[in-house]
Structures are given as C-alpha cells and as structure tokens.
Structure 1
Amino acid sequence: MSQIFREFLKKVGSGRHTSKDLSRVEAQSALEMMLQQEATPAQIGAFLIAHRIKRPTGIELAGFLDAYEHLGPALPAVSASSPVIVFSVPYDGRSRTAPVLPVTALILAASGCPVLLHGGDRMPTKYGVPLVDLWQGLGVDWSHRSLAQIHQVLSKYGLGFIYLPEQFPLAQGMVEFRDQVGKRPPLATTELLWQPYLGEHHLIAGFVHPPTENMMREALALRGTDHFTTIKGLEGSCDLPRDRKAILGLNHPSSEQTWQRLILSARDYDLGGPEIPYTSTKTLLEQLHAVLNGQTCELMPAVLWNAGFYLWHVGISSSLNDGLQAAENLLTNGTAKQTLTQVQAFLADL
C-alpha cells in the first residue's frame, strides 16, 4: 500500500512547476491511507508538508471530505423545525482573542435551533484553547460519550459535540504528524468543511484568507452542499469581529441569488470596540459565566453581537436588531443558562 501512496506523493511533491493536483478519487484514497496509516510515517509527513506547499484545490478538499465521510462518525438526523447548525472552527483553537461560541450555541439551542460542534483537545500548530475545554469549564463534559448519547442530547436539548479523540480516533492519530511537521496542513481546511451529521443542516465555517473561501466553495459545490455560510472571523473562527467589518458569504438554495456577500459593522449597532483578548482559560470562563448570569462585563457586547446576528441569520429573529434584543433577553431572563443546566443534568444522568 505504501507503494501506491508513493505515486500520490510524487504528484504533489514534485516542486512548484512540476507538481500535479490529485483527482477527487486520488485525494480520498490518499487521505484514507494516511488516516489508517497504511502509508509509512515518512510518507505521511512528506505528503502533509508537500501538499501545504503546493496548496490544495477544491477538488482535493472534496476528496478529503469523502474520506472523512467514509471513515468518520455521523450523527443520525434529529426531529427539528430548522436545520441543524454545524459550526466548524479551527481545531488548533484560539490564542489571541476570547471565543464566545459556546454561549452563542446555548442561545441558539434555547431558541429552538439545534447546534452541532466538533473538535478535539489542544492541537498543533497553535495549541490554542479548544472548545471542549470551555465546555468542561461550563460543566459540560463531551468526552467519553457514545454517538447514541450525543444524539440524545442533540434531540432533546438541541446541543451536540463530536469529540475527535473519542468519536474519530483515526483523525486523532494524525495529530502527532501535524505536531512534527510544525505547519498547519490542508487537512485543517477539511475540518472546517466537515459536517458529521446525516440530516438537513446549515454549515457555518470560518476562514482567514480569501483564497481559502474560494476553495471551500468549490469543494462544497462538488459535494452537493448548498446551504452554508462562510465567516472571515476571529482567528479563522465563526466569531464575528467587532473592531472591523465582518465579511460573510451566504449560500442558500432557496434565495433568488444563491451566493451573496454580506458585510456588517458592529459599530452600526453600538457594539463595536476592541476585541477582548484571551489571557487564560480561567479568566475566560469567569467571563462566560458572568455573561450566562446576565451580568454586565467586557465580554457581553461580543456575545450579543454574535448571538444576535446568528438568531437573525438562521431565521429565528426577523431583523438583526430583533436578534440582538432577543439574545439579551435570553441571557438576562436566565433562559440560556437554564439550557446549560438541563444539558449538565442530562449528561450527568447518562
């Protein structure tokens, strides 16, 4: 099998002028051989760095996603009045700005819009704070859960989390290679497009560089994914910035114009300002708890800006202003925190 992989490596690793792109089938085969470690460690490392230098194509990303679909987990569909929102963020976490996605997810779930997240532990190359650590700090432990249990929580309370080491050990096995390579491989872009869910869904994926967005759009089109949103978010996440304009791409099959560009400014809604820095997980968790208790703190504007936007974006609120007000109400009246308490109790019983 390593001899077959050698041919893939020769194509992507022949240099800037002579390297060739993989076909979709070849990309799927290459990633499956790496995930199952049928390729040798030397080949895997060489491929990851060579593919980064070459730069992936949308076709190759589609093949990588085919491999994730073939070998990875997927939750069955749940009964819901709206598509499940799948938030995809960089697995190597955040190291400069404070993430607010857990509270955004709780507000959406409390409003009847189910949310599915996925990720692992601290990961190269950034080794930033991962979402699973924040959930644990909020009293929700997504580790050591079966897919059936995650499906139960998603069905009952509209919240779920696919924990990579537990649910997709083959992908977790690539972490050591990523650490030794020392650079974020194109595999990280695949994770931004992965949606481990079998029902109707709305994928929301963050990105940093415009060429990445173009590759993402091509890959999703090839895969038949027609309901997605791209966010030029903080550190490539789905969190909207407040100190600059938020740039979004909207792809919805039911709209007259399938692809639309949306640009928003938090300053237009009196929520602009400098981004809240991430200093430590302890400090961040104190801020998240304060927000969930409805207390005024420096993180509150970022939470309202994000949660309010998403309430409007997914159709729960009729306008962005209504979404901002609804987000504030769900925090001050304790509804979002109640959802957190219910999920805590349910997982504890399991």
Structure 2
Amino acid sequence: MSYAFRELLRKVGSGTHTSESLTREDAAAATRMMLLQEATPAQIGAFMIAHRIRRPTGTELAGMLDAYEELGPRLQPIASAYPVTVMGVPYDGRSRTAPLSPLIALILATAKCPVIMHGGNRMPTKEGEPLIDFWRGLGVDWSQLSLTQVQHVLAATGLGFIYLPSHFPLAHGLVPYRDQIGKRPPLATMELIWSPYAGDAHVVSGFVHPPTELMFQDAIAQRGVTHFTSVKGLEGSGDLPRERTAIIGLGIPTIGFERLHLHPRDYGFEGKNVALDATPKLVKAMTTVLGGHPSEWMQSTLWSGGFYLWRCGGCPSLEAGIQEARRLLTEGLVLQKLQEIQQVATPLQLTH
C-alpha cells in the first residue's frame, strides 16, 4: 500500500464538507502513482470514484496533464505552415451518431493543417465505436505503428494518431478501472485536453456540460495554452451538430476567450445528424464522401470541415472554409491525401 497516495485519497474522499481540492503538484503525484501502479487497485478505484463524485478542478486537471506529459508519449515538433491541431474526443466512442473527425482530419491535412488524434480500443463505460476501427476501415492501421513510425507519418503527411495500448501502456493499464467503477473517472475528462505533442499546438476538445468547459479553460490557462477550441459537439466530440446551434469557445492568443454560436440553418446545413451504423457501412459512406458524392454525410462533413479549416487558419472565413472543403472533396484531393497516408504507413505496418 502507498501511504503517500492514501493521504491524497483522504483529501478527495472525505465527504462533502471536509474533502479538499488537490494542489497541482498533488494531482500530478496522484496521477503518477496511479499510472505507475504504485497505488494499490483498491486505492486507485477509491480515488477515481471519490474524485468523480466531487468533480475535478481546473488546477487538478492541470496537474494530471503534468503527469501525462512526464510519463506519456510526445510527438516531436514538425515543420508546418499552420499549428498542429490536437483533436480530443471521448475515448469510449460513439453510440448514437457517426464520427466525422477522421474526415475532418483528412480535410485539414490536405489543406496543410496538420492533425494529431489519440485514443484506444472499445472502452468503458459507453463501449462505443472507437476511432481506431474507422481508420482501419480506411486502410490506415495506427495500432501497427511504433511511436517513431507515427512521428514519420506525421512529418510526411500531416496526420498522426497516438494509440494508447502500444504508445502509452501506462494509461492503457488504467482502462479496466473504468469498467469496474462503472463511471467515467476524471481521467476521461482530462484526456479531452491532453496534447501528446512537444510543440505549440491548437487544442480542440468536445464537451457536454458547461462546467466542464470552464474546467478546461482553467486547466489549459495554467499550462500556458492560449490556442484552443471547445465545442459542445456530438456525444462530447468536436463534431458540429446540425440539429441545433453549435456552442463554441475560442481561445485566441493575445485576445483571450470568445464565445461563438453557429446556427446551421444560417449556412444551409440544418438537418439530421448522421446516425451510427455498423462500422463497415459507415466506412463505405466515408469513402463515398471522399469520392465527392452528395449525401447527408457530405453535408455534415462540409459543415464541420469548413469550420475547422477556418478555425485552424487555412481559410479567412467560415464561408470560405466550407467552399474550400467542398473543393478539396469534389476534386478528389482529400482522397489523394488518404492514399498518400496509406502509401507512407502501410510499409511501416509490415515492418513493425
């Protein structure tokens, strides 16, 4: 048993009136001891559920990110025309709506706006479809690449993916606790703003509840991140909804935080979000979009892809971003980018 961890557990688990928030240093220490399994399983489970009930603070999230930076993987800076965008999505996947982020990432990479994604396999508590399976369906199996090989693909094509089981096994070792406690632990909140990139990055995260966004703002401000985007998106992701107004937070260097409300009907995109289906069917639909064919999938992709082209600096306005996304797709340039990634990654998969 770790007596040092027990003291931290006492602070967060003492009840409504006597529990204490951890300092940034204590939160980093607690996360480090959990990642290294220096705390016992009973201690880790107790900490996760107690912290879940009390809810983490921005300072605690910052400390948890400090530990991830210390012990986790970090892709090295690459030369690029635009900052690298790190897209954080819930690791436990999707259960109602189809994910747009693989297509968004491909559009951005085509426009020379590099993207890093991260995640693992099917995961508690939702046990939804993970992004890694959609990438496999598109012919890029990030799970078969070493971290060095992912670095090579990122530098060569502008796209990379950190796969927890092989690139961050310490974090993957904590996944079973999510199932055992039956709730998302605060780690699942922190992961949305984790940036496994050693250079300056544009951090994009989805959120569901407004208090979560406030915690994000506090945490990343303490860590010196000024370029970020928070989206009240589909199932906690950064995918823009089409059935309601998109509520977006913009962190802008030298300016600060700004609130943006985007009404899809104002741009001709009001409609139903694409429903989740079997992964092979969704992958087939994705390839149809990559072929430039009109569909509801295409409309959803243009809405989100156009926004991110503008937000990531590739276009001067949202309207220009939508038009550019349409051009890149209909002219087959995004499909060419996917084929380029396949050509770079596939030989590496065979040697891993």
TM range (shorter): over 0.9
Q: Deviations over 1:7-59 (max 9, x none)?
A: 11111111111111111111111111111111010111111000000110011
Which secondary structure does the structure 1 equivalent of 2:162 belong to? strand
Partner of residue 58, structure 1 = 58
Name the structure 1 match of 2:135.
Answer: 135
Q: The residue matched to 1:85 in structure 2 has which SS? A: strand
Amino acid at match of 1:192: L
1:204 match: secondary structure: strand
User: What does residue range 150-169 of structure 1 map to in structure 2 within 5 Å?
Assistant: 150-169=150-169
| In structure 1, distance between residues paired with 2:225 and 2:316 | 25
CA distance in 1, matches of 2:107, 2:124: 30
* Residue among 293, 299, 305 paired with 2:291: 293
208-217 vs 319-328, greater mean Cα deviation: 319-328
Tell me the CA shift for residue 297 of structure 1: 2.1
The two structures have a TM-score, normalised by structure 1, of: 0.98
CA distance in 2, matches of 1:119, 1:92: 9
Q: CA deviation at 1:219?
A: 0.6
TM-aligned CA deviation for residue 105 of structure 1: 0.5
- Specify the alignment match of 1:205 in structure 2: 205
| One-letter amino acid of the structure 2 residue matched with residue 300 of structure 1 | M
Provide the rounded CA distance (Å) in 2 between the counterparts of 1:349 and 1:279: 31
Question: How far has the Cα of 1:306 moved from its partner?
Answer: 0.5
Match of 1:320 in 2: 318
Provide the identity percentage. Answer: 58
Which residue is 1:184 aligned to?
Answer: 184
User: Structure 2 counterpart of 1:306, which letter?
Assistant: S
Secondary structure at the aligned position of 1:263 is classed as strand
1:160 and 1:314 map into 2 onto residues whose CA distance is 16
Report deviation, 1:200.
2.0
2:250 corresponds to which residue? 250
Q: What corresponds to 2:125 in structure 1? A: 125
Is 1:106 matched up with 2:93? no
Displacement of 1:279: 2.2
SS in 1 for 2:204: strand
**Aligned partners of 2:243, 2:296: CA distance in 1, in Å?**
14
Tell me how far apart the structure 2 counterparts of residues 153 and 243 of structure 1 sit (CA, whole Å). Answer: 36
Counterpart in the other structure of 1:345: 343
1:58-97 CA distance string (max 9 Å, x none): 1110110000001000011001111001101110111111
Partner AA of 1:301 in structure 2: Q
The aligned residue for residue 91 of structure 2 is 91
CA deviation after TM superposition for structure 1 residue 228, in Å: 0.7
Residue 262 of structure 1 corresponds to: 260
Query: Residue type of the partner of 1:99?
Result: P
1:8-19 equivalences in 2 (<5 Å): 8-19=8-19
Distance 1:144 1:349 in 2: 11
> Given residue 279 of structure 2, which amino acid in structure 1 is its aligned partner?
T
Quote the residue 1:284 is aligned against. 282
| 1:158-188 deviation digits (Å, cap 9, x = unpaired) | 0000001010000000011111111011110
How do 1:326-341 residues align onto structure 2 when only pairs under 5 Å count? 326-341=324-339
Letter in 2 for 1:317: C
Alpha-carbon distance between aligned partners in 1 of 2:179 and 2:279, rounded to the nearest angstrom: 22
Aligned with 1:121: secondary structure?
coil
Secondary structure of the structure 2 residue equivalent to 1:348: helix
Give 3-state SS (helix, strand or coil) of 2:144's partner: coil
Task: Write the letter of the residue equivalent to 1:77.
Answer: P
CA distances 1:120-155 after superposition (whole Å, capped 9, x unpaired): 011110011111111001000001312221111111
Question: 2:49 — aligned with what?
Answer: 49
User: Normalization by structure 2: what TM-score?
Assistant: 0.97
The letter for the 2-side match of 1:303 is: T
SS, match of residue 299 in structure 1:
helix
Amino acid at match of 1:202: H
Quick one: distance in 2 between partners of 1:18 and 1:302? Answer: 48
Describe the superposition over 1:202-256 as per-residue Cα deviations: whole angstroms up to 9, x where unpaired: 00111100000001111111111111111111111010111100011111113xx
Q: Which amino acid aligns with 1:268?
A: D
Supply the distance in 1 between the matched residues of 2:99 and 2:89 (Cα, whole angstroms): 11
Give me the whole-angstrom Cα distance separating, in 2, the residues matched to 1:214 and 1:118.
Answer: 22
One-letter identity of the residue aligned with 1:326: E
Query: Partner of 2:259: helix, strand, or coil?
Result: strand
SS at match of 2:143: coil
Residues in 1 aligned to 2:277 and 2:334: alpha-carbon distance in whole angstroms: 25
